Chains A and B, each alone.
Chain A
Amino acid sequence: MSNFTSFEPSPPLNRVQRWNIYLALVTAVIVLGLGLTMRNTALTATQPFENLEAGVRAQVPRGWLIDTAGPDFVIRAQDPDALPFKTLLQISVLPIGPDATPNKVLDLLTMERAARFPAYRELLRADQTVRGEPAKRMEYVYTQDERNPFQATVSLVIQGVDVVVLRRGQAVIITYREERSAFTDHLYYFENLLQTVEIF
């Protein structure tokens, strides 16, 4: 009776067969390297965005839905394929007074959102730099309910991060929001945006 561990020993191979075996391994390394390069290129592919009036230039993910017509933002990019929450990147510009600080801008955002978002809660604040400029970073969470009563679903927990940079009487707020379980996995979209954003 044959069993699982009694495969017979392999007969000797000729030179062509041996080289085929070696080259199959080399091919695997090359092909998988090519595939991973394609994957990384596709995931980090961007398209340029520029708003001369607001003085903002950035690279946003290619294929995302771009909205530039909002009253409270310069650009809003959303991933149309993301489920259950469409990953959001946003750049807003707020006029500020001469004594404004990034902390005061974040306080203002917190007050405004606490009234608008259910269960809004600030998680942390920290100092950061954006392309050499000092900035303030704030992370927060809130819940989002499905508005359509015919699609009764459990509330989503959304995690967000804002980075505020002050510039000549304006505060530039760069925002990222994602469903909590995917927040860390997709944070690189936000980091890429921070690395490419130009405020002029």
Chain B
Amino acid sequence: MSFEPMLFGAEEEIAEPRPRQRVWRTAWLEAIALFLLAFALYALTDILGVLSTRPASTSGRMGIAVLPALLWLFLSYRAERRTRQPRPHLVAVLVLGALVASGVALPLEEHLFQPERWLPSLDFFGRLLGYATTVGFTAEFLKYLVLRHAIWPQHIGQRLDGIAYGLAVAVGFATVLSLRYALLTEATLAATALRVASITLPHLAGSVIVGFFLAELWIGRTAILWLPAGLILAALISGAHYAFRAIAIVGSPGVGSTGSSPLLGLLLAAGFAAATFALFAFIITSADARAALALSRRLP
């Protein structure tokens, strides 16, 4: 009788995952909390008229901008620290995500890609492809580089590890973009919250894709173009969000409205994040179940 310890070793890990924090619950909580906060500020300002429609103070806007990072620390990271085997370097990955956004992505966007100069003049598919192949791909590729060189593959033991690290790098990346908006734009608290949500939620969606493809590359049996396909898919998702957002937030101008629909923009961002979370949760659950079934059939 032959015995292949390497094969058993690898599959045992999938059948009995390490006692790590499950990611989806806190990821959903963060996304929902961000959505509800933005919606509440919008309702208090634009519907109920409780909050001022004058520009908020810089400190108030910056407080809103760092809220996704605080939510992540309070929900995901705190839950992670309470497990028997917390994932290491999560905060380092978040900081690296913020650094590449600040040091590489923002300068490239402002001085090279300059999407506001040429994308608005294109049609829907032009905007989708134009954004995906410049700003979108750059963001996903930088997040991939952070994950690849910081934690991959030594800290990938299960598919959910890729998601957890992907969400951390996305939060760091999106926080820098939100801070730029908060610092440079004289906006109300509601407008800042809407913008922060519409920046953060699509980045969470894109990073779930990159994280999954990276984890699967280490754990599963993948094709030779698996990783490029994942990066392109994540970039296309961000491009699709940009293109649909141009349609969603521009409403019909009339006597009673200004022609913009910020709430639709928020719903769109939340929809992209929710659809991606649901789809990849299903894919990962199915893949883990198949692996466990295959293992149980091999065991005596």
Give chain A's interface residues, CB within 8 Å of chain B.
2, 4, 7-11, 13, 16-17, 19-21, 23-24, 26-28, 31-32, 34-36, 38-39, 42-43, 45, 62-63, 81
Instruction: Kindly state whether residue B224 has any CB partner on chain A within 8 Å.
Output: yes
Whether the pair A17, B137 counts as a contact (CB closer than 8 A) is no
**How far is the CB of A5 from the nearest CB of chain B, in Å?**
9
A42 CA to B131 CA, complexed, in Å: 12
A24 CA to B132 CA, complexed, in Å: 16
Hey, which chain B residues are within 8 Å of A39, CB to CB? 113-114, 118, 130, 134
Hey, which chain B residues are within 8 Å of A38, CB to CB? 126, 129-130, 133-134
- Name B222's closest neighbour in chain A (CB-CB): A16
Which of B48-56, B144-152, B171-179, B267-275 lines the interface with chain A? B144-152
Instruction: Kindly state whether residue B282 has any CB partner on chain A within 8 Å.
Output: no
Whether the pair B113, A43 counts as a contact (CB closer than 8 A) is no
Hey, which chain A residues are within 8 Å of B25, CB to CB? none
**How far is the CB of A162 from the nearest CB of chain B, in Å?**
25
Whether the pair B225, A7 counts as a contact (CB closer than 8 A) is no
Whether the pair A28, B227 counts as a contact (CB closer than 8 A) is no
Hey, which chain A residues are within 8 Å of B95, CB to CB? 4
Q: List 13 A-B contacts (CB under 8 A).
A: A13-B153, A16-B224, A21-B148, A27-B232, A31-B137, A31-B235, A35-B132, A35-B137, A39-B113, A39-B118, A42-B130, A43-B118, A63-B121
Whether the pair A42, B225 counts as a contact (CB closer than 8 A) is no
A9 CA to B154 CA, complexed, in Å: 7
Instruction: Kindly state whether residue B138 has any CB partner on chain A within 8 Å.
Output: yes
Instruction: Kindly state whether residue B23 has any CB partner on chain A within 8 Å.
Output: no
Instruction: Kindly state whether residue B122 has any CB partner on chain A within 8 Å.
Output: yes
Q: Apart from A10-B152, A32-B134, list 19 A-B contacts with CB within 8 A.
A: A4-B95, A8-B154, A10-B153, A20-B222, A20-B227, A23-B225, A24-B141, A24-B144, A27-B228, A27-B231, A28-B141, A35-B133, A38-B130, A39-B113, A42-B118, A42-B126, A43-B117, A45-B121, A62-B121
Whether the pair B122, A42 counts as a contact (CB closer than 8 A) is yes
- Name B229's closest neighbour in chain A (CB-CB): A27
- Name B135's closest neighbour in chain A (CB-CB): A35
Hey, which chain A residues are within 8 Å of B138, CB to CB? 32
Hey, which chain B residues are within 8 Å of A81, CB to CB? 120-121
Q: What class of interface size applies to chain B in its complex with A?
A: 35 or more
Whether the pair B130, A35 counts as a contact (CB closer than 8 A) is yes
Hey, which chain B residues are within 8 Å of A19, CB to CB? 224
**Contact pattern, B 60-91, Cβ under 8 Å of A = 1, otherwise 0:** 00000000000000000000000000001100
User: In the complex, which of the residues A16, A23, A34 contacts B228, with contact meaning CB atoms closer than 8 Å?
Assistant: A23
**Given known contacts A8-B154, A39-B134, A20 and B113 CB-to-CB distance under 8 angstroms:** no
Whether the pair B121, A24 counts as a contact (CB closer than 8 A) is no
Whether the pair A17, B218 counts as a contact (CB closer than 8 A) is yes
**How far is the CB of B197 from the nearest CB of chain A, in Å?**
25
User: In the complex, which of the residues B126, B133, B227 contacts A31, with contact meaning CB atoms closer than 8 Å?
Assistant: B133
**How far is the CB of A65 from the nearest CB of chain B, in Å?**
12
Hey, which chain A residues are within 8 Å of B8, CB to CB? none
Whether the pair B224, A20 counts as a contact (CB closer than 8 A) is yes
A19 CA to B141 CA, complexed, in Å: 16
**Given known contacts A4-B92, A31-B232, A23 and B133 CB-to-CB distance under 8 angstroms:** no
Hey, which chain B residues are within 8 Å of A26, CB to CB? 228
- Name B134's closest neighbour in chain A (CB-CB): A35
